[in-house]
Homo-oligomer: A and B are copies of this chain.
Amino acid sequence: MTITTNPTGTAANDRRSRGGDRREQILDVALQLFAQHGMAQVSTRQIAQAVGISQPSLYAHFASAHEISAELCLRAFAGLAEASRRVLAEPASPREHFYRLGRAYIDFGLTHPDMYRLAFMQETDPAVAKLVQQGNDPVLAAGQGAFDMLREVLARVLGRSTEEIEIQAQSIWASVHGLTSLLIARPMFPWADREALIAHHLEAVCALYQPDADPR
- CB neighbors of B among A41-84 (8 A): 41
Proximity bits, A177-189, B CB within 8 Å = 1, else 0:
1110110011011
**A143: Cβ under 8 A from any B Cβ:** yes
Flag if B120 contacts A182 (CB, 8 Å): yes
Flag if B182 contacts A196 (CB, 8 Å): no
Stretch at the interface among A12-20, A26-34, A95-103, A167-175: A167-175
| Number of A residues, CB within 8 Å of B | 45
**A92: Cβ under 8 A from any B Cβ:** no
Bound-state Cα–Cα, A197 to B175, Å = 12
Known: A175-B178, A182-B174. A188 touches B132 (CB 8 A): yes
Flag if A178 contacts B186 (CB, 8 Å): no
Flag if A171 contacts B185 (CB, 8 Å): no
**A125: Cβ under 8 A from any B Cβ:** yes
Number of copies: 2
Q: What are 17 of the A-B contact pairs (CB < 8 Å)?
A: A40-B123, A120-B185, A121-B181, A124-B186, A124-B188, A144-B189, A166-B192, A167-B193, A167-B200, A170-B192, A171-B200, A174-B178, A175-B204, A175-B205, A177-B178, A177-B182, A204-B208
A22 to chain B: closest CB distance in Å? 29
- CB neighbors of B among A118-140 (8 A): 120-126, 132
Bound-state Cα–Cα, A147 to B178, Å = 14
Q: Which residue of B lies closest to A177 (CB)?
A: B178
Bound-state Cα–Cα, A23 to B147, Å = 45
